[in-house]
């Protein structure tokens, strides 16, 4: 199935957003081990955030994570969705991720989700990530009305609208 690009052909997709606490950059297969560590040490948090009642990422293998990262990298290159890793400034630890996806909900032009690893949940990094992403999207991306499931609308309400 072909997905059209999420942004116009002439839009230069931002490569990096850096703050004093972290760097957002495209998620690639080179991040597999650090990303896998962040995901697997945050299983309960991720399941609660994205898949209430589901079991992902329970049982996820490193090889499956590599395949997922490869898919994210390909979609980024094709401009059909954009996955960014939130990584420490020294690149030693993945702190979370941010995703910009197309949406089937005609009231919005994109679906933007994000998470931080369990060890950062109480540090204020989640709030920081959301604040900088929301500003970045409104100022630097050609999206008119992005949705933020889990932020401005609960995941349950978002899924009910799909």
What's the 3-state SS for 92-130? Answer: CCEEEEEEEECCCCCCCCEEEEEEECHHHCCCCHHHHHH
Question: In whole numbers, what is the pLDDT of the chain averaged over residues?
Answer: 92
CATH class, range 17-157:
alpha beta
Is 53 a residue whose pLDDT tops 90?
no
CB 157 within 8 A of CB 148: no
Whole-prediction pTM: 0.93
pLDDT value of position 162: 64
pLDDT value of position 4: 82
pLDDT value of position 59: 82
With a pLDDT cut of 90, the percent of the chain lying above it is 74
| Cα–Cα dist 29/7, whole Å | 23
Is 131 a residue whose pLDDT tops 90?
yes
| Cα–Cα dist 134/129, whole Å | 8
Q: What is the mean pLDDT of residues 10-38?
A: 97
pLDDT value of position 85: 98
160 φ/ψ angles, rounded to the nearest 5 degrees: -70, -25
């Amino acid at each position: 199935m072909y997905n059209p690009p999420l942004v116009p052909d002439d839009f230069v997709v931002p490569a990096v957003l850096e703050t004093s606490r972290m760097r957002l950059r495209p998620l690639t297969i080179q991040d597999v081990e650090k990303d896998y560590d962040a995901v697997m040490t945050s299983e309960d948090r991720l399941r609660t955030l994205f898949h209430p009642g589901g079991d992902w990422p329970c049982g996820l293998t490193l090889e499956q994570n590599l395949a997922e990262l490869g898919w994210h990298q390909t979609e980024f290159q094709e401009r059909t969705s954009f996955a960014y890793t939130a990584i420490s400034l020294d690149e030693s630890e993945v702190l979370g991720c941010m995703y910009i996806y197309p949406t089937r909900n005609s009231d919005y032009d994109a679906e933007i989700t994000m998470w931080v690893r369990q060890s950062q949940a109480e540090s204020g990094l989640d709030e920081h990530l959301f604040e900088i992403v929301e500003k970045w999207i409104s100022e630097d991306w050609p999206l008119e009305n992005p949705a933020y499931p889990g932020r401005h609308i609960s995941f349950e309400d978002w899924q009910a609208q799909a």
